[in-house]
Structure 1
Amino acid sequence: MDFKRSPVSLDRIDLSDDTFRITTNDDLTELALSISAIGLLQPPTVIVNQDGYIPVCGFRRIAALATLGRENVTVQALPADHPPLDTACLAISDNSSQRPLNVIEQSRAYRLLQDRTLSSDWQRVARSVGLPDSDQARKRIMPVAGMPDPLQRGILEGSIALPVALQISRFDVDSAAVLVSFFRQIHTGLNVQRELLDLMGEIALRDDISISQLLRQSGVSAIMENPSAPTPQKVRQVRQRMKILRYPERSRVEDRYHQALRSLKLDPRVQLLPPKDFEGKSYRLTLTVESRRQLEALQREIEKILKAADLLPE
């Protein structure tokens, strides 16, 4: 590698230039303590530009030195005409060799390679720097680095699953911001996230309202602002509210069914389960018994079900 190692002034290194930044870790506390105690073990790598230097590897090392009040740092400097692809690969490998890259770091790496690699050669280059080399992975991960910062933070903290983040990114800016704030509050799993996002999107489209209006008018905002309710309870209430708004007739049928079932006051050993989402035709009747005598006693419960006009279709 065509390095020139030399001391340079920190103010000549442009830390605002994120061209080659891969890491998402901005915490400098432990690194600064380490440098203060034992010094800088690995010099940062920079590339020469017209006004000084652009960081290639060691963004956090340079920033940590600045917080310690250092004025100079020994760097490995690449010439301005260093091959762009080699520079990009160096930046990526410096990170991927230390730890598995998270999805945002992978996205930054793909974007760095995108304009510096021939389309026919990208898989070989991706493998060489430790990136997934499938087209599917690249197309799925590539957009992440261009998402708004709050959405990226939601992905990093695990409150927004990647498939849901990709869907949110297709909404208008205001709606996406509202959705990001909502999902970062509830911290639920992928399936529930998908369900809620689909319901909200369908209701907003049908009623020609914004996501913000939907959450406010539906009472979801009030549910989320209730300080006394635990998060799982809030999620249940929001799901129920969204289902009622999306499928009002089905919700009315479901309410009538459960009211009729409760009014029978059936023995707990008798369970009548409706079709999932009331979309099928098959009901399941379950009897739990330990003897013939118990089974005979439950015949009266079955008679109650047969006489209940609102419970089962003819």
Structure 2
Amino acid sequence: MTYLRNRDNCPLIRLNINDFSGQPGAFCMSYGFDNSQLIKSINSVGLINYPYIVKNRDQQIELITGFRRILALKELNVKEVSCFDLTDLDISPYEMLMLAVYDNLFIREFNIVEKSLIINMLSQLVKGKGLLNEVCSLININQKDYKLFLRINMLDETIKQFISRGVLHIKTVESLISMDKEDALLLSDWINKLKLSYSYQLQCVDYLNDISRINKTSICSILNDTFFTELLRDEKKNIPQKAREFMDHLRVKRNPEFSKYQKLFEKTVKNLNLPVNVRVQNPQFFESKGYRMEIDFDNGKTLRNTLMEITDIKYNLEALKDPWLNESDEI
């Protein structure tokens, strides 16, 4: 952008702060931000980086860069602001957009929603793939995700706030886009309240989609189940505990045989009549191989005695096997 290398090309003018509406303009790409630090900075040392503006045919001000700075100045009750005026430079809308991108790019990273804003603005100004690919690379968007980022801006504002705060994984966002609006809103709210990790989010979406398809019901109906609503209200459990129980219950609803196998295994262990200091545990939801035996003992002698005792044929340890091999047994 050679037209900006010499600031003499851009006259610095003084404008009344009320000439700016305080609403995001056509080239604004700030979303979900906290302006407190910027306000402190301007209050301490003044405005260092002046906004860029153009005037339309009606002489109304259009802000190209500096939306957050204008908001900060309004908060500080500043009456006037100096701005660089690009009106007479005959700059194209695409060049204005790129000016705004570079103005932000070297002082911060764009969040996912801001990248979506840029992609949507760009799609209206540029048709050639070359420039699209160049900008995608500039703001760290994989070209294959271009259409996804186009659609993110169409999501509900509540969901976009979650996205901008880093609550939702990009793969989760992709799934939310294809959901019914009410389903997407409720699911994103649950993810936020339970602070689900990214891996939990992906599993959660898979489970809910499967349960919804199998039972021919909406995701809202699943999440409004009494078990889930009571879990959320349970003040005795912390957030990680609630998240684990939430995921465990979804697994069982998705795979009801888990519950059946658990009962079969517990029945087998109970029938062994093992000593009270011996416990046998199955892997959670039988998702991994191998079982676990725990023995409480006071010293090596009691451990040896316990080991000798449980190997007695009367305990029939050979009965311990994968529960689906015992499905013919009654629960």
Q: TM-score when scaled to structure 1?
A: 0.83
Distance in structure 2 (CA, Å) of the matches to 1:223 and 1:240: 12
Distance in structure 1 (CA, Å) of the matches to 2:313 and 2:232: 41
C-alpha contact (below 8 Å) 2:211/2:253 kept by paired residues: yes
Judging changes above 3 Å, is the alpha-carbon distance between structure 1 residues 40 and 295 closer, same or farther for their aligned structure 2 residues? same
State the secondary structure of the residue aligned to 2:212.
helix
User: After superposition, where does 1:125-144 map in structure 2 within 5 Å?
Assistant: 125-127=135-137, 130-132=138-140, 134-144=142-152
Q: Do structure 1's residue 47 and structure 2's residue 54 form an aligned pair?
A: yes
Query: Unmatched 5+ residue regions in structure 1?
Result: none
The percent identity for this pair of structures is 19
Judging changes above 3 Å, is the alpha-carbon distance between structure 1 residues 238 and 134 closer, same or farther for their aligned structure 2 residues? closer
Distance in structure 1 (CA, Å) of the matches to 2:234 and 2:306: 46
Quick one: which of 243, 259, 275 aligns to 2:251?
243
Distance in structure 2 (CA, Å) of the matches to 1:177 and 1:239: 19
Deviations 1:25-78 (A, max 9, x none): 543333233323322112111122245112111111111111222222111122
Quick one: which of 177, 183, 187 aligns to 2:185?
177
Query: Unmatched 5+ residue regions in structure 2?
Result: 327-331
By how many angstroms is 1:256 displaced? 2.1
Judging changes above 3 Å, is the alpha-carbon distance between structure 1 residues 302 and 76 closer, same or farther for their aligned structure 2 residues? farther
**2:311 corresponds to which residue?**
299
**2:23 corresponds to which residue?**
16
Distance in structure 2 (CA, Å) of the matches to 1:256 and 1:205: 28
Quick one: which of 57, 68, 71 aligns to 1:63?
71
- For these two proteins, the number of residue pairs brought into alignment is 310
By how many angstroms is 1:137 displaced? 4.4
> 1:42 corresponds to which letter in structure 2?
N
> 1:123 corresponds to which letter in structure 2?
N
> 2:317 corresponds to which letter in structure 1?
I
User: After superposition, where does 1:91-240 map in structure 2 within 5 Å?
Assistant: 91-117=100-126, 118-127=128-137, 130-132=138-140, 134-240=142-248
> 1:31 corresponds to which letter in structure 2?
L
**2:329 corresponds to which residue?**
none
Judging changes above 3 Å, is the alpha-carbon distance between structure 1 residues 153 and 71 closer, same or farther for their aligned structure 2 residues? same
Judging changes above 3 Å, is the alpha-carbon distance between structure 1 residues 285 and 237 closer, same or farther for their aligned structure 2 residues? closer
State the secondary structure of the residue aligned to 2:28.
coil
Distance in structure 2 (CA, Å) of the matches to 1:272 and 1:233: 20
> 1:211 corresponds to which letter in structure 2?
I
By how many angstroms is 1:303 displaced? 4.5
By how many angstroms is 1:147 displaced? 2.3
Judging changes above 3 Å, is the alpha-carbon distance between structure 1 residues 222 and 114 closer, same or farther for their aligned structure 2 residues? same
Judging changes above 3 Å, is the alpha-carbon distance between structure 1 residues 192 and 262 closer, same or farther for their aligned structure 2 residues? farther
**1:90 corresponds to which residue?**
99
Quick one: which of 38, 55, 61 aligns to 2:45?
38
By how many angstroms is 1:122 displaced? 2.1
Judging changes above 3 Å, is the alpha-carbon distance between structure 1 residues 20 and 209 closer, same or farther for their aligned structure 2 residues? same
Distance in structure 1 (CA, Å) of the matches to 2:245 and 2:251: 10
